[in-house]
């Protein structure tokens, strides 16, 4: 399957190819293991797989970072 990916995708460099193929392996898309269909569609099946892979272990916590960008147009009348 990796040969087919290499045939179809033009990666910008080898490190990007390695990163993408590694991610596909981690998700299990390159595995011979059969997937259990969830919700009757592939998106729900992928989400269920990601839930398994990304669940928090005991004592782990989440972190959310937000970035806000504000700008002003001082030329606009009425402001």
Q: Burial letters for 40-57: b for 16+ Cβ neighbours within 10 Å, e otherwise?
A: eeeeeeeeebeeeeeeee
CB neighbour list of residue 45: distance below 8 Å, 6 or more residues apart:
35, 36, 37, 38, 39
| pTM exceeding the 0.85 threshold for the entire prediction | no
**pLDDT by 10s per residue, the chain, length 79:** 899 999 999 999 999 999 999 999 999 999 998 888 998 899 999 999 999 999 999 999 988 889 999 887 776 666 5
**Could you tell me the two tokens for 50?**
């990601």
């Amino acid at each position: 399957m990796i040969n087919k990916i290499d045939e179809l995708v033009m990666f910008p460099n080898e490190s990007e190819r390695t990163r993408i193929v590694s991610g596909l392996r981690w998700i299990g898309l390159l595995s011979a293991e059969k997937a259990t269909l969830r919700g009757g569609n592939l998106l729900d099946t992928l989400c269920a797989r990601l839930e398994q892979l990304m669940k928090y272990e005991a004592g782990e916590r989440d972190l959310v970072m937000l970035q806000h960008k504000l700008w002003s147009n001082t030329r606009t009348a009425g402001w």
